[in-house]
Chain A
Amino acid sequence: MKKVFESPKSLTKDPFTYCPGCHHGIAHRLVAEALDEFGVREKTIGVCPVGCSVFAYVFFDCDMICAAHGRAPAVATGIKRAKPDSIVFTYQGDGDLASIGTAEIVHTANRGENITVIFINNAIYGMTGGQMAPTTLVGQVTQTSPYGRDPKTMGYPIKVAEMLATLKGVAYISRVALSKPAYILKAKKAIRKAFQSQIEGKGFSLVEILSTCPTNWGLTPIEANKWLEENMIPYYPLGEFKTPEEVS
């Protein structure tokens, strides 16, 4: 019998511990598939953040390290500079990357560090139970914006992909979603391009992945996918924001 589907080698056999309907599992799988397809699993070092995906070190079957909150790009810089032949990626949420780690992500991108960043934007803090993230939408209710995010006092949601695409050292940036199969296929392509860009030594690459957090959004998984498409995508347009010709 022909085998038509199997678990990527770059994932361990440990079952995901993420909430039902959360997109971390899909994102993990896509990253693992890309590592498998490029044959780089054995020279990859991943950096996991503080947040729900702090447990990514359990699920990826490659060398892994956990950074302090927001500092994953700096840790990745240290690794890549010490072992330039390795493939280095960070996997960070929106609180980690777009709030406490803004200095690290901006300067790592600006130095053109040859690493790949997988940025999960689900518009909320997951691990701590649903507080406002820098990416929380205007009017969105969270534990710390109980009357909805008021831009007058809480600012507007940060568009990370657009912001970082202005930096010259950046090789590849795109924003994708995972709420339906067509989007997942596109996300896979973007993640492949990001790693390809690193393998070819082009410089900094980042894929922003719009994701759901049904638990803290207070929605079912299906409702969450719908909410993402109706509310997040209009504010966070999908597409490529920077592509070196050689990689596209």
Chain B
Amino acid sequence: MAEKMLMKGNEAIGEAAIRAGCHFYFGYPITPQTELTAYMAKKLLKMKNAAFVQAESELAAISMVYGAAATGVRSMTSSSSPGISLMQEGISYIVCAELPCVIVNMQRGGPGLGSIQPGQADYFQATKGGGHGDYHLIVLAPSSVQELLDLTMDAFDLADKYTNPAMILGDGLIGQMMEAVEFKERKKIDLPDKEGWILTGCKGREKNYIVPFNLDPYEMEKLNFKIQEKYNKLKEKEVRYETVNLDNADLIIVAYGIVARIAKTVISNAKKEGINIGLIRPITLFPFPEKIIAETSEKINKFLVVEMSMGQMVEDVKLAVNGKAEVNFYGRVGGVIPAQSDILTEIKKYLK
């Protein structure tokens, strides 16, 4: 039977991670995700065959994740925007070494030290690579505490399946929010065996080694091709999104995370005024749901992308639409959350 409980977003991630078998957490305090670090300390320090380490920096935290992941255990770290910037070095190494792990980014307003209020301005960093070299993370964007929990568990499976780091791209609001959640029974899925590459000591076998480099450019190119192949597979098999009211809509909102939640209120309020709005909510930001956006743009010729940024995901929407519809943008930044009434006012501008 499913257990129902009231949980804060950040703590729900912690509980979901532990239930997904992640017993190794390394992190550094930063607002607004500290509850997650504290939750992991409270739980993991009391568990056997588990570790919680408060690292000296985010640079160290991600390197600890790299070390733990190399031994084959499920491992994670979490932070918020400025801390995630510091982790980019380690993330790039982990991708090159083809190791699975989960990274949580509860975004706050940027740039710089920014603000501690929610933001979505790390979209480029999360979905386009973030660190040096050609790579992507598997990026999951929850819009409720329940989804935060479910996607956290999925993130570990996806990371293992593709031997690539997965990122939960939340925002401060979702981490701080309390909602009723259920831990449902999950289907067992087949995941690739780690035995061939993990570092556990070479007893009874040849040594294994994990090195995130190759000085032979042709070999390094081959590794790049291999990594890209995983991204092609992700694009083919793992795209997730939610749609609301796509038929008969006069305008389609594209939004993710907490903004998509606000967009749903906009849709019902607009309806009262006789305005028909639809929503496409990407759940995977990488791989991006470009197909559904492209298909929709054949039928509906007005889009409004709403983000808590100065316009980042809108670029991917424009690429998917490819000139077939009008793509507009409305954004609030620096920790400001767009009000549903402001979004509706914006919509009316384009429906005149």
Contact = CB atoms under 8 A, between A and B. Distances in A.
Interface of A: 41-45, 47-48, 54, 57, 60-68, 71, 74-83, 86-87, 103-104, 106-107, 111
A48 B59 CA distance: 17
A74 B199 contact: no
Nearest to A87: B201
Given A74-B63, A77-B64, A107-B56, 12 more contacts: A62-B207, A63-B199, A63-B202, A63-B209, A64-B210, A64-B211, A66-B210, A68-B93, A78-B65, A79-B70, A79-B199, A82-B68
B67 A75 contact: yes
A83 B59 contact: no
Interface residues of B, number: 38
B64 A81 contact: yes
A199 to B, nearest CB: 14
B59 A71 contact: yes
Contact of B202 (A42, A57, A74, A82): A42
10 contacts: A42-B202, A45-B199, A63-B202, A74-B55, A74-B63, A77-B60, A79-B71, A82-B51, A82-B75, A87-B201
B63 A65 contact: no
Q: DSSP majority for the B interface?
A: mixed
Interface in B187-212: 199-204, 207-212
Interface of B: 24, 26, 51, 53, 55-57, 59-61, 63-71, 73, 75, 89-90, 93, 97, 199-204, 207-213
Contacts of A76: 67
A82 B67 CA distance: 8
Given A78-B75, A103-B56, A103-B57, A65 B199 contact: yes
Contacts of A71: 59-60, 63, 66, 89-90
Contacts of A83: 71, 200-201
Query: Which of B70, B199, B203 has the largest count of A CB atoms less than 10 A from its CB?
Result: B199
Nearest to A77: B64
Contact of A63 (B66, B73, B89, B201): B201
Contacts of A75: 63-64, 66-67, 70
Given A63-B208, A66-B212, A42 B201 contact: yes
Contact of B60 (A45, A62, A64, A107): A107
A75 B210 CA distance: 12
A78 B201 contact: no
A76 B67 CA distance: 6
A82 B200 CA distance: 10
Contacts of B204: 42
A82 B70 CA distance: 9
Given A75-B64, A78-B65, A78-B75, A42 B213 contact: no
B211 A78 contact: no
Contact of A61 (B55, B59, B65, B207): B207
Contact of A78 (B26, B57, B207): B26
B60 A57 contact: no
B46 to A, nearest CB: 15
Given A41-B202, A74-B64, A78-B63, A65 B211 contact: yes
B209 A64 contact: yes
A78 B24 contact: yes
Contacts of A81: 24, 51, 53, 64, 68
Nearest to B59: A71
A86 B209 CA distance: 15
Nearest to A64: B209
A103 B68 contact: no
A86 B93 CA distance: 23
